[in-house]
Amino acid sequence: MLIGPQNSTLVVNHVRSRISQAATAAGRDPATVTLVAVTKAQTAETIRAAATAGVTDFGENYLQEALAKMERLAELPLRWHFIGGIQSNKTRIIAERFDWVHSIDRLSVARRLSEQRPFHAPPLNVCIQVELVPEPNKGGVSPSEVEQLAAAVAPLPRVCLRGLMCVPPPQANAAAERAVFARLRILLEELNARGHKLDTLSMGMSADFESAIAEGATVVRIGTALFGHR
Ligand SMILES: *Cc1c(COP(=O)(O)O)cnc(C)c1O
């Protein structure tokens, strides 16, 4: 079942109960896992239905598409997460309109976001995107580059480095999914052992969020399970 005007509460509650079960099975408090509804290719009205069903956090990949919807939903108190590839000439509008950016993969973009974050807004929450499994044309830094980038991003005054994010390709089974997500968790633990205070693991999508939660995901980004195939 997928979100439409009539059944959005049912669909959201079903996904939330799967999140809760996965958290409980891992000995975790379900409240430590935030659902970000990924709404690329969905309309503003679909987002409104999800918001009515209690979703507060929305993820978008494409800036122009996101801005048009944000405009239409301006009266709703939603948190917006940018999760797509970032062009340097688009950082100002991202810094102005979003609450989170999950897809930092280079220092120049983080610097621009920090410089361009409006003074009246709190620091922009950011995650570094890590490419755990090498793939062509996927964003993210390699695991060996994470520490250096984190050290450079953390001191920027108008962004707040919150953690790490990944978008691994589909794996053959749950054990393989967990092995990939465990690597992101370990990278975060290593950063914290070096003095960072990172609290966010943004990992897990419709096909693999239960495995991600088992490995410590604090943010799951879910599109298809809520809204159907794009
Ligand atoms: C599209 C997308 C998602 C959601 O994927 P689903 O499989 O539809 O749940 C999550 N994260 C990123 C970065 C995406 O691009």
Q: Relative to the CA of 207, which ligand 1 atom is closest?
A: 7
Asked whether 44 and 69 are in contact (CB, 8 A), the reply is yes
Q: How many domains are there within the chain?
A: 1
Q: Predicted confidence band at 3 (pLDDT cuts at 50, 70, 90)?
A: low
pLDDT confidence of residue 130: 98
Domain presence at residue 21: yes
Q: What distance in angstroms lies between residue 223's CA and the mean position of ligand 1's atoms?
A: 6
**Residue 152 belongs to a domain with what CATH number?**
3.20.20.10
pTM of the full structure:
0.97
The kind and range of the H/E element at 128 are strand 124-129
Q: What distance in angstroms lies between residue 119's CA and the mean position of ligand 1's atoms?
A: 31
pLDDT confidence of residue 2: 73
Q: What distance in angstroms lies between residue 203's CA and the mean position of ligand 1's atoms?
A: 10
Q: Relative to the CA of 230, which ligand 1 atom is closest?
A: 8
Q: What distance in angstroms lies between residue 83's CA and the mean position of ligand 1's atoms?
A: 9
The percentage of residues in the chain with a pLDDT greater than 70, rounded to a whole number, is 98
Residues with CB under 6 A from ligand 1: 38, 40, 61, 83, 167, 205-207, 221-225
pLDDT confidence of residue 6: 63
- Average pLDDT for residues 149-161, to the nearest whole number? 98
pLDDT confidence of residue 117: 98
Q: Predicted confidence band at 7 (pLDDT cuts at 50, 70, 90)?
A: confident
- The tens digit of pLDDT for each residue in 112-142 reads 999 999 999 999 999 999 999 999 888 999 9
Give, in degrees to the nearest 5, the angle at Cα 138 between 137 and 142.
Answer: 115
Location of structure tokens 């205070």: 197
pLDDT confidence of residue 137: 83
Look over the chain and give the mean of its residue pLDDT values, rounded to a whole number. Answer: 96
Closest C-alpha to ligand 1, atom 7: 206
> Which of 164, 168, 160, 126 lies closest to 147 in space, CA to CA?
164
Domain presence at residue 102: yes
Domain presence at residue 41: yes
Other C-beta atoms within 10 Å of 205: how many? 17
Domain presence at residue 60: yes
Q: Predicted confidence band at 5 (pLDDT cuts at 50, 70, 90)?
A: low
Q: What domain range is 77 assigned to?
A: 8-227
Q: What distance in angstroms lies between residue 180's CA and the mean position of ligand 1's atoms?
A: 17
Domain presence at residue 1: no
Domain presence at residue 3: no
Other C-beta atoms within 10 Å of 133: how many? 13
Here the tokens at position 198 are 């990172």
Q: Relative to the CA of 227, which ligand 1 atom is closest?
A: 8
- The tens digit of pLDDT for each residue in 180-194 reads 999 999 999 999 999
Domain presence at residue 2: no
Check whether 84 has a pLDDT greater than 70: yes
Which region holds residue 194: left if phi is over 0, alpha if psi is between -120 and 50, else beta? alpha
> Which of 12, 1, 36 lies closest to 228 in space, CA to CA?
1
